[in-house]
Amino acid sequence: MTDSLLTLIIFFPLLVTAVVLFLPNGKDLLIKEIALGATGVQLVLSVILFFSYDASLQPENWSNAFQFVERAKWISLYLGDYGWLQIDYFVGIDGISLLMICLSTFLLFVGVIASWNLSKNVKGYFILYLILSTSVVGCFAALDFFLFYVFFEFMLLPMFFLIGIWGGPRRGYASIKFFIYTLVGSLFILAVMIGLYLSVEDTSLADQTQEVVHSFSLVNMMDGGYITDGILTPGNATEFLGMNIRWIAFILLMVGFAIKLPAVPVHTWLPDAHVEAPTAISVLLAGLLLKIGGYGFFRIAYGIFPDAAVSLTYPIAIFGMISIVYGGLTAMAQNDLKRMIAYSSVSHMGFILLGLASFNVQGAGGALFQMVSHGFISGALFILAGVIYDRTGDRGIANFSGLAKAMPVFTGFVVVFFFASLGLPGLSGFVGEFLVFLGALGSDYLPKWIGIVSISGIVISAAYYLWALQRMFFGQFWTREKVWEQTMYDLTARELLLLIPLAILVVLLGIAPNVILGPVNNSIEFFVNQCFEQSQLYLAQ
Amino acid sequence: MMEMINPTYFVFLSLFIFCAGIAIVIIKRSAIFVLIGIELMLNAANLNLVYFSQFDPGMNGVMTSIFVVVLAAAEVSIALAILLNIFKHYKITDPDELTSLKN
Amino acid sequence: MTLLKIIWPLIFIIPLFSGIIGGLNHRQSLKLSSFGMAFGLFLALILVWMLDEPLILEWKWLESVNFGFSIDRLNALLVLLVYLITLLVQVFSITYMEHDPDQDRYTAKLGFFAFSMIGLLMSNQLVTLFLFWELVGMSSYLLIGFWYQEAGRSRAARQAFMINRVADAFLLLGVIRVFNNGYATSFTETLASGIQWDGFTGICFIIGAFGKSAQFPFYGWLTKAMAGPTPVSALIHAATMVTAGVYLLVRISPALMDWNLQVIAIGGAVTAFMAAVAALTQFDIKKVLAYSTISQLGYMILGIGVGAYQASVFHLWTHAFFKAGLFLAAGSVIHYMHELDATKDPQDMRNMGGLQKILPVTFYAFLICGLALSGLPFLSGFLSKEGILTGSWLWGQSTGNYLVPILAFCTAGLTAFYIGRQILLVFFGEISFAKKMVEPLVTIRVPLIFLAASSLWFWNSINPIDPLGWFWNGYLFADLGATSDQHSILGVLIGSIVLTLSGLGVAYWLFRPEAETARGFKKSNEPVQLAGKISFHGWYIEKFYDQIVRLFSKVVFGAGWFDKKVIDRFVDGVGVSGVVIAKVIGWFDQNVVDGLVNFMASISQLIGRFVTSFQSPKIQIQIGWLLLTLLVLLLWFQFLT
């Protein structure tokens, strides 16, 4: 069972897609049920994965840091002078990807329920949705750079169509913007990927052939299996634009993933994409796609280029700080609820940069926790924004007032999740921020003022959330259009079904964060130690 | 031993029949006539085969000509059947007017 | 001990439960919840009675961050206080909130508050403290904005929370610095280790405490918090939550450096004086009490700064009773004024006067509590304030810094004056309205009588003038290892009594019913002279906040503008220029590159046409061509090779 569990989790939705393809167009409910079942199975499997994950594993190097590893030859070509081209189907997880996979399957399941009311071209929607499920999970499990890249790119297409077809009025602009932005990011990643491929060899296969066997295996890259004179081999003095080539590669990766994250100043696709995307897609966008950027930092940028990372902590932290403060300030200036939440995502993603830049266990753990917690919180926030949009077709903050009177339960949830997002202790948002601050202020690499300025982020986030709360939910009940007053009914059973589990998780993670951080602690510690040791090793070369 | 007929006659006769066949195939508009032309050409060849097989102790020419006759019979019957059906369907016999086999 | 291990979690969780149960029951919510709280009070009494060794409970919250509670005598007593006041406030609210349709929500929020407050008091680890610290802030926010439909109240709630949040950010910074600098992270360990924190960490904690305890420059939030229901003001914004800062400083004061303590002392003294001045000219009955609370909190803070933290804790205790009594009595007055005429502002003292005859119980409660506040002997306030004044005097002597004691003594006189003014204006004079109302019911009377009675000296000390005679002194501070070496100084004693009496005397002279000022008061407007304006506007602290907010919103909208007009424009510009370049390339492609291709294509087309002309659709002609070709080939092979 556990031998191919990972593959099953990744490809189960794709398998179901094949079934859905052959269903006639009209059977909307059946398709929804199938999609729910498929993501449900995925969720159950990932829960099994979580509990069968061995938390006590203390690896010595990356090659034994992963569990549930599956490896099969995928593409194997002889390229003459370029040696063997070796691409593997290579998946496996450590603690970092474990959490991401569990988060993904949960949100994907939630997303199906969130799109239950969909009526436009249901079949197409869910086919794309299931493809997306496969590629997201695949991205988190891939240990071969090529495989990762394939999944990474594969995510774009369903997303593009999901926004472009099922989105709001400006969906065309938003989806194109999203697509181009991300594609530019992926190009940077692609360039680095090829460079890495040419500098890394798979020593496990080198005995069988006389030629150099180049490899895309992330494990090889992280463990430093470089050939002696590769372009990205540590110690290579090649310079480009006055900088060491490894530094350039690291910066390219960071930019590529920062677009996905997104960090200021490459964040402007996010508000547009969020505003136009349908609710469920916003949930996935904020909950998962942004996390792939963060995950890329962990697994690829930091894992492979620790030497560059440790030398560039300062600018990374500054970008994190700018994202936190600037994202918060901009969020406050927004008039659209969804836009405000989108900018708050930018602000919260800044914590990931800051946490990673601090280069210690607290910072990295905080960044990881922030990713998980932000997945739940922002998912819930977008569902809440969707609730208003469903009822009125409008989300302007200034168009509503005193909603607490008409929708008390809804307002209760809004208060809980707003407070969770503004970092109230006892809810999950605080834990990540606390750990990141702990890391940033205790870091050997960062000056104190960066952490101190970033702490102002918690004041700013309180400012915009409470301001929105006051303007929309408190005061006399009033809506800009009289008709809306009739449609402002409180949450339906389906919406409650969506929000209650999220609320429980947010509270649980806030009170007992070790439920998820405990099992992955070894992985985080190993990640940080390994990055540190290798950076020293590489820098010495 | 019988007097040998001059082989030139045979050659000319079969040449004549063959050319007539070609002429019919090229000129005639009806598919039936085209068939007839083909038959003529086949038989012109047969004539040659039969005549020149007397110089061959293995009698291969005769054997071949028998095969050709059988083949021709089969071919004609199938071809006629097709032509008949085409005629039933399209009311045409001119092979050039027949541009499609599907409706 | 085993019994205590069972009951303390109960004590911890009961408020939350009774809040939930009350919140679920719409009609009887407050009554149900009161029963729960009464039971909790009983348990808390057992806890105080039986506790001798501190109970400590810790578990791992995160790697290297623990979550922990400890119950020693100090917080056991304060938990008891919270239970007591909460219970009284709930009982009072049964009548006060009778007609409110959202009673259940009110109960739930009160329960949540009591839970967070008790959690805060029981916290041992700093992270735990910060957690409950914020929860307390949130519940305060929810309760201030209880009548959310009135825009002004929800705005006040937000502003109050935001001011707190700024201070909390500093507290968080302080907590993080404690972790990163390797100090002990719990109160008990900090005390045991005897390590002093660096000054910056200390300042962070002090700012956090100043925020919650409404000290300068954060005190503006407390007047905004008066937008909440009056019983809430009594519970949260007078007796319990605002003392959290004092409590925190008491806990950490052993770890603070000397100059930190000086900051505390000066901050407290300045706040006490400023707030007392601000209380002099207010019209709003609750605002006077709010400024008075700020001023008294200033005293407590000052007491910690000068090292008399035992007196501060004592003052915290007595203040909780008499200030809660004052607020509840004010609530009773407001309740009456509201019933009388809903169109007038029920909190404006200019509409009041002569209530003594109509609300006798309220009057006596207000009188006793007010005099306790002013610091008249034989009342509880005198005892505790005396300790702080003595401490400040001794501190002034030892450091040579007499600013703190001078401000403290001035405040004592001012306090007597403003509370005397308030009593006279509200309860004396002519009744301008005749409607006789049902005197407050049992639910209102009992809490008032209880709180007034407990403001008498003998509940606290047998000797009415000995500040160290507090019954709880030995109980509380024996295990802290520090017994005070202060003795009451005769000069201080006499000085404070004289100041109090003269303050009351001036108040009587100015506001006795037949005096000019008292008569003119009903028609008076906002003061116009500078001193009056400064006092009335509370030293313009809110204007100061408004300026900051204005500046901040400029930054915010600047950032919004920048994002929309610069960054997004830039991105769009890149996009547009991409499109333009693409168009140019497209033209080039269509006309130049494609032209070439088309030219080639048309040449081959020409050739093709020429060749096609040989072809015929007729099968027979094709066959003819075939034969001809064959013939040509034959002839070729026959004759030419």
| Mutation for testing the A interface, residue in C548, C563, C581 having most A CBs under 10 Å | C563
The distance in angstroms from the start CA to the end CA of chain A is 44
Looking at the complex, report in whole angstroms how far the Cα of residue B53 sits from the nearest Cα belonging to chain C. 25
Within a domain: C359? yes
pLDDT (0 to 100) of residue C1: 63
Nearest to B96 among C619, C624, C627 (CB): C619
- The verdict on a CB contact (< 8 Å) between C617 and B22 is no
pLDDT (0 to 100) of residue A136: 93
Contacts of C113 (CB under 8 A, 6+ apart): C15, C86, C136, C139, C140, C143, C235, C236, C241
Shared domain check, C526 and C553: no
Q: Searching chain B, which residue's CA lies closest to the CA of residue C620?
A: B26
As given in the structure block, the two tokens for residue A187 are 């190009």
Whole-number Cα distances in Å, A271 to A174, A178, A340, A460, C185: 9, 10, 8, 18, 41
Strands A213-215, A84-93: pairing is parallel
> Which class for C186: exposed (0-12), middle (13-18), buried (19 or more C-beta within 10 A)?
buried
Question: Are C543 and C533 within 8 A, CB to CB?
Answer: no
pLDDT (0 to 100) of residue C24: 87
Strands A213-215, A478-479: pairing is unpaired
Within a domain: C381? yes
| Mutation for testing the B interface, residue in C618, C620, C628, C629 having most B CBs under 10 Å | C620
Q: Which residues of C touch A476 (CB under 8 A)?
A: 149, 151
As given in the structure block, the two tokens for residue C61 are 């919250």
- Residue C582 has, within 13 A of its CA and on its CB side, a CA count of 6
Within a domain: A346? yes
Integer Cα distance of A478 and A473 in angstroms: 10
User: Distance of alpha carbon C96 from its chain centroid, rounded?
Assistant: 23
Q: Searching chain B, which residue's CA lies closest to the CA of residue C618?
A: B96
Residue range C414-472, pLDDT digits in tens: 999 999 999 988 888 777 665 666 555 778 888 888 888 888 887 777 777 776 667 77
pLDDT exceeds 70 at position A205? no
Provide the β-strand partners of residue C545.
Answer: none
Please give the tally of structural domains in chain C.
2
Domain ranges of chain B: 8-90
- Residue A469 has, within 13 A of its CA and on its CB side, a CA count of 31
In the structure, do chain A and chain B come into contact, i.e. share 3 or more CB pairs under 8 Å? Answer: no
Contacts of C34 (CB under 8 A, 6+ apart): C18, C87, C90, C91, C94
Question: Which residues, given as ranges, of chain C have pLDDT below 50?
Answer: 481-483
Residue range A288-343, pLDDT digits in tens: 999 999 999 999 999 999 999 998 999 999 999 999 999 999 999 888 999 999 99
- The verdict on a CB contact (< 8 Å) between A438 and C571 is no
The interface predicted TM-score (ipTM) is 0.93
- The verdict on a CB contact (< 8 Å) between C620 and B25 is yes
Question: Are A442 and A360 within 8 A, CB to CB?
Answer: yes
Contacts of C345 (CB under 8 A, 6+ apart): C351
The distance in angstroms from the start CA to the end CA of chain B is 63
Looking at the complex, report in whole angstroms how far the Cα of residue A471 sits from the nearest Cα belonging to chain C. 9
Query: Residue A527 belongs to what domain range?
Result: 305-541
Q: Which residues of C touch A264 (CB under 8 A)?
A: 567
Fill in the amino acid letter for C182.
G
Provide the β-strand partners of residue A478.
Answer: A401
Question: Are C193 and C520 within 8 A, CB to CB?
Answer: no
Shared domain check, C368 and C395: yes
CB of A475 within 8 Å of a chain C CB? The answer is: yes
Backbone dihedral angles phi then psi of residue C70, each to the nearest 5 degrees: -145, 145
- Residue A347 confidence class, pLDDT cut points 50, 70, 90: very high
Nearest to C148 among A404, A431, A517 (CB): A404
User: Distance of alpha carbon A330 from its chain centroid, rounded?
Assistant: 22
Shared domain check, C518 and C560: no
pLDDT (0 to 100) of residue C486: 53
Question: Shortest CA distance to C426 belongs to which of C359, C340, C343, C501?
Answer: C359
The distance in angstroms from the start CA to the end CA of chain C is 126
Query: Residue C599 belongs to what domain range?
Result: 545-616
The SS3 of residue C467 is helix
Integer Cα distance of A303 and A147 in angstroms: 17
Shared domain check, C425 and C522: yes
Question: Are C255 and C183 within 8 A, CB to CB?
Answer: yes
Shared domain check, C602 and C549: yes
More confident of the two residues A535 and B90:
A535
Shared domain check, C490 and C370: yes
Integer Cα distance of C39 and A445 in angstroms: 54
Please give the tally of structural domains in chain A.
1
Sign of the torsion formed by the C-alpha atoms of A201, A207, A212 and A217: negative
Tell whether omega for the bond before A265 is within 30 degrees of 0, i.e. cis: yes
Whole-number Cα distances in Å, A152 to A98, A135, B34, B64: 17, 7, 67, 70
DSSP one-letter code for C182? T
Within a domain: C579? yes
CB of A445 within 8 Å of a chain C CB? The answer is: no
Residue range A444-498, pLDDT digits in tens: 889 999 999 999 999 999 999 999 999 999 988 888 888 888 888 888 899 999 9
pLDDT (0 to 100) of residue C519: 76
The pLDDT > 70 percentage for chain A reads 97
Nearest to C560 among A334, A434, A467 (CB): A334
Within a domain: C308? yes
pLDDT (0 to 100) of residue A133: 93
When the pLDDT of each residue in chain A is averaged and rounded to a whole number, the result is 89
Integer Cα distance of C12 and C527 in angstroms: 48
Shared domain check, C284 and C394: yes
Residue range B9-41, pLDDT digits in tens: 888 999 999 999 988 988 888 888 888 998 899
Contacts of A160 (CB under 8 A, 6+ apart): A175, A178, A179
Residue range A97-117, pLDDT digits in tens: 999 999 999 999 999 999 998
- The verdict on a CB contact (< 8 Å) between C619 and B27 is no
The pLDDT > 90 percentage for chain A reads 52
Within a domain: C313? yes
A345-349, B49-53, C159-163, C489-493: least confident range: C489-493
Shared domain check, C316 and C351: yes
Shared domain check, C348 and C427: yes
Alpha helices, H only, C353-435: 355-358, 360-374, 380-399, 403-427
pLDDT (0 to 100) of residue C175: 93
Question: Are C141 and C38 within 8 A, CB to CB?
Answer: no
Integer Cα distance of C129 and C205 in angstroms: 12
Q: Searching chain C, which residue's CA lies closest to the CA of residue B24?
A: C620
The SS3 of residue A532 is helix
As given in the structure block, the two tokens for residue C610 are 């020429």
- The verdict on a CB contact (< 8 Å) between B25 and C618 is no
Residue range A270-287, pLDDT digits in tens: 988 998 999 999 999 998
CATH of domain B8-90: 1.10.287.3510
DSSP one-letter code for A121? S
- The verdict on a CB contact (< 8 Å) between B26 and C624 is yes
End position of a domain, from candidates C533, C559, C592:
C533
Shared domain check, C267 and C388: yes
Within a domain: C478? no
DSSP string, C38-96: HHHHHHHHHHHHH--SPEEEEEEEETTEEEEEEE-HHHHHHHHHHHHHHHHHHHHHHHH
Within a domain: A486? yes
- Residue A139 confidence class, pLDDT cut points 50, 70, 90: very high
Shared domain check, C491 and C581: no
| Mutation for testing the C interface, residue in A270, A354, A470, A525 having most C CBs under 10 Å | A470
CA angle in degrees (0–180, nearest 5) for C107-C111-C116: 150
pLDDT (0 to 100) of residue C491: 81
Integer Cα distance of C325 and C381 in angstroms: 13
pLDDT (0 to 100) of residue A351: 94
pTM for this predicted structure: 0.85
Q: Which chains touch A (3 or more CB pairs under 8 A)?
A: C
Integer Cα distance of A114 and A315 in angstroms: 39
- Residue C98 has, within 13 A of its CA and on its CB side, a CA count of 10
Question: Are A316 and A357 within 8 A, CB to CB?
Answer: yes
pLDDT (0 to 100) of residue C481: 45
Shared domain check, C436 and C350: yes
pLDDT exceeds 70 at position B101? no
Burial code (b: 16+ CB inside 10 Å, e: under 16) for C118-155 equals bbbbbbbbbbbbbbbbbbbbbbbbbbbbbbbbeeebbb
Residue range A144-171, pLDDT digits in tens: 999 999 999 888 889 999 998 898 888 8
